Amino acid sequence: ASGLITIDPGYKNTGSTKSGITFLDGEKGILRYRGYSIEDLAEKSSFLEVAYLLIYGDLPKQSELNKFQNDIKMHTLVHEDIKRILEGFPSNAHPMGVLSSLVCSLTAFYPESLDPNRSSEAVYLSIIRIMAKVPTMAAWAHKNELGHPVNYPSNNLDYCANFIKMMFAVPAEPFEVDPVIVDALDKLLILHADHEQNCSTSAVRLVGSSQASLYASISAGINALWGPLHGGANQAVIEMLENIKKDGGDIPKYIAKAKDKDDPFRLMGFGHRVYKNFDPRARIIKKAADQVLGKLGIVDPVLDIAKKLEEIALEDEYFVQRKLYPNVDFYSGIIYRAMGIPTEMFTVMFALGRLPGWIAQWKEMRESNEPIGRPRQVYTGPNARNYAELTDR
Angle, CA 157 vertex, CA 156 and CA 160 arms, to 5°: 165
Task: Check binding of 205 to ligand SDX (CB under 6 A).
Answer: no
Candidates 43-51, 216-224, 269-277, 284-292 — which segment interacts with ligand SDX by CB under 6 A? 269-277
361 binds ligand SDX (CB under 6 A): no
Gap between the Cα atoms of 175 and 281, Å rounded: 31
In the complex with ligand SDX, the residue whose CB is nearer, 121 or 315, is: 315
Q: Which stretch binds ligand SDX (CB under 6 A): 59-67, 77-85, 156-164, 265-273?
A: 265-273
Q: How far is the CB of 82 from ligand SDX (least distance, A)?
A: 27
The Cα 339–Cα 345 span in angstroms is 12
User: Cα separations (Å) of 62 from 58, 103, 225, 357, 365?
Assistant: 12, 30, 33, 21, 28
Instruction: Spot the catalytic one: 186, 194, 279, 329.
Output: 329
Our finding on whether 323 is near ligand SDX (CB under 6 A) is no
Does residue 270 touch ligand SDX according to CB under 6 A? yes
Whether 329 is a known active-site residue: answer yes
Of positions 189, 258, 339, 352, contacts ligand SDX by CB under 6 A: 258
Determine the Cα–Cα distance for residues 101 and 215; give it in Å rounded to an integer.
10
Q: Does 99 bind ligand SDX (CB under 6 A)?
A: no
Nearer to ligand SDX, 198 or 361 (CB): 198
**Contact of 58 with 45, CB cutoff 8 Å:** no
- Whether 311 and 255 have beta carbons less than 8 Å apart is answered as no
Neighbour count for residue 312 (Cβ, 10 Å): 14
Distances (CA, A) of 293 to 283, 286, 297, 302, 344: 16, 11, 6, 12, 20
In whole angstroms, what is the distance from residue 325 CA to residue 362 CA? 30
One DSSP character per residue, 32-82 reads EETTEEHHHHHHH--HHHHHHHHHHSSPPPHHHHHHHHHHHHHT----HHH
Q: According to CB under 6 A, which one of 181, 324, 355, 360 is a site residue for ligand SDX?
A: 324
**Total site size for ligand SDX, rule CB under 6 A:** 21
* Residue 322 in the binding site for ligand SDX (CB under 6 A): yes
**Which positions from 210 to 249 touch ligand SDX by CB under 6 A, shown as an x/- string?**
-------------------xx--x----------------
273-292 residues near ligand SDX, rule: CB under 6 A: 273-274
Nearer to ligand SDX, 153 or 280 (CB): 280
Residues 8-37 that bind ligand SDX (CB under 6 A): 10
Q: Which of residues 329, 334, 338, 361 is near ligand SDX by CB under 6 A? A: 329
Q: Phi-psi region for residue 211, left (φ > 0), alpha (ψ -120 to 50) or beta?
A: left
Position of minimal CB gap to ligand SDX: 271
- For position 198 contacting ligand SDX by CB under 6 A, the verdict is yes
Q: Is 253 in the site for ligand SDX (CB under 6 A)?
A: no
Q: Is 335 in the site for ligand SDX (CB under 6 A)?
A: no
Task: Round to whole Å and give the CA distance between 240 and 306.
Answer: 10
Site map 364..393 versus ligand SDX, x via CB under 6 A: ------------------------------
Choose between 107 and 198: whose C-beta lies nearer to ligand SDX.
Answer: 198
Select the residue interacting with ligand SDX from 73, 142, 165, 272 (CB under 6 A): 272
145 or 279: CB nearest ligand SDX = 279
Please report, in angstroms and rounded to a whole number, the separation of the first and last CA atoms in the chain: 35
Nearest residue (CB) to ligand SDX, 79 versus 266? 266
The least CB distance from residue 37 to ligand SDX, in Å, is 16
Alpha-carbon span 27 to 167, nearest angstrom? 39
Return d(Cα 169, Cα 111) in angstroms, integer. 33
Nearest to 279 by CA among 38, 21, 43: 38
Q: How far does Cα 109 stand from its chain's mean position? A: 24
Would you tell me which residues interact with ligand SDX (CB under 6 A)?
10, 195, 198, 229-230, 233, 258, 266-274, 322, 324, 327-329
Active site residues: 272, 329
